[in-house]
Each structure stands twice: as C-alpha cells, then as structure tokens.
Amino acid sequence: MGDILAHESELLGLVKEYLDFAEFEDTLKTFSKECKIKGKPLCKTTGGSLRDSKSLIIQKDLLAAFDNGDQKVFFDLWEEHIPSSIRDSDSHAQKLEFYLHIHFAIYLLKHSVGRPDKEDLDERICYFKTYLETKGAVLSQTTEFLPFYALPFVPNPMVHPSFKELFQDSWAPELKLKLEKFLALIFNASNTPKLLTIYKENGQSNKDALTSSLQITPEYLQSVCVRLFSNQMRQSLAHSVDFTRPGT
C-alpha cells in the first residue's frame, strides 16, 4: 500500500508540474484543491514558474557579463549551467564558445578609452591562448576558425586584415543575438516537464518497435507473391520475378 501511495504522489506531482508548465491556471487550482480535499499527497516538484524565474536570472547574468566583458563571471556561469554534454559534443555550442572566447580576448581593444591596460590585456590573450591549446583545439582543422589561432601572436589585431571583421560595430551585437537564441533554446529544453519527456520517450520507443517489426525484405515480398498466385503460375513466377534486382 505504501508503494502505491508513493507512486500516486509522484504521478500527481507530474500532472501538477505539467498543468503549471502549460499554464492551465484554473485547472491547476481545481486539481490542487481536489487533491487536498481527498487527502492525496502531491510529490513536491520544482514549479515551472520558479524554474523559469531562475533561468531568466541566469540568462540575464550571462548577457550582462557579455556586455561588460567580464570573462571570469561569464565562463563560470557558462560551465555551471550549460550541460557538459552539450559543451563538449554539440558543434553549434563549440563554435559559439569559440567566438565568445574571441569576444572576451579583444574586448579591451574595442572598449578601452586610449591604450588598454597591458596587464589585463595580456591576461585575456593568455586565457584565449590556453583555450586554443586545450578545449579549442578541436576546431583547429576547421577552415572557418583556422586564422584565429594566430590571434594571440599578432601585435596589433585591430589593423590586421585577417581580423578586420572582429572589429566591425556589427560583430559583437550579432554574436550576442546568437548567444541569446542559444540560451533560450537550452533553458527552454531544461524546463520541459517530466511528464512530457516521458511521453516523448515512450512514443519514440513505440515508434522504433513498430518500425523494426515491419522490416520487409525483397526475399520475403517475393515469397508472399508466389504464395498468392495459383499453383500453375508459382514455378514460373518464382523464376521470372526477382525482387532483389534494383528497379523491380
């Protein structure tokens, strides 16, 4: 009986989470009220509104660090809240992270009034160089990124023709827009209610099982056709029709 109640509590909690996610406000109020009346315990799940609020704060902090050129704050948040499975294997995330490192490496060159602080600039360039030699090395064979591996060794990147695009006024805003879209996609995916995730996974497994059970080979099709025709035609059909031949 205890196991049943435990599972019921969890299931009711999943329903509550989904109703909150789908913004069925009136239904959610009635559902919660009726559960209380019936003495049905609700498994405590992280409310969608609470998750959304936290996600928005994280996104806001990341974008603020981007605007302010605060490299340490940005990448601390990045590594904490962007799943390593995405950062390490998703090509889109890897490319975006590469350009983000460039943004912070040249930030002082673009925003300092007069000559940038040498110590701070050297520290940023060193950080970028370390990234290129470690995690960023995965893109070293990509034509798009190959020129940027020379960036830490160029005395004045602002006047170098290979890096002209980086110092255009439109470059950073366009990168920020890509960052915003990426963050929205990542955090929306993480906010998906568990009930919806279970449904999708179950639906996909059922689809895969149905597909695997309908693997019709040419040999099987030929044997069916032979069985369907009359006895007089079976022998000739078996020899004259070959479904394994291309175009048959």
pLDDT, tens digit, 9 for 90 and up, residues 47-93: 455 566 788 899 999 999 999 999 999 999 999 999 998 999 999 99
Lowest mean pLDDT among 32-41, 121-130, 172-181, 212-221: 212-221
The domain limits of the chain are: 2-45, 50-190, 216-248
In terms of pLDDT, which residue wins out, 32 or 144?
144
Confidence of residue 33 (pLDDT cuts 50, 70, 90): confident
As a whole number, the mean pLDDT across the chain is 79
What are the tens digits of pLDDT across the range 185-212? 888 765 566 676 677 667 655 555 574 4
pTM for the full predicted model: 0.60
> What pLDDT, on the 0 to 100 scale, is given for residue 193?
66
Does the pLDDT value for residue 115 go beyond 80? yes
- Answer whether residue 144 shows pLDDT above 60: yes
Nearest alpha-carbon partner for 86 in 180, 187, 192, 196: 187
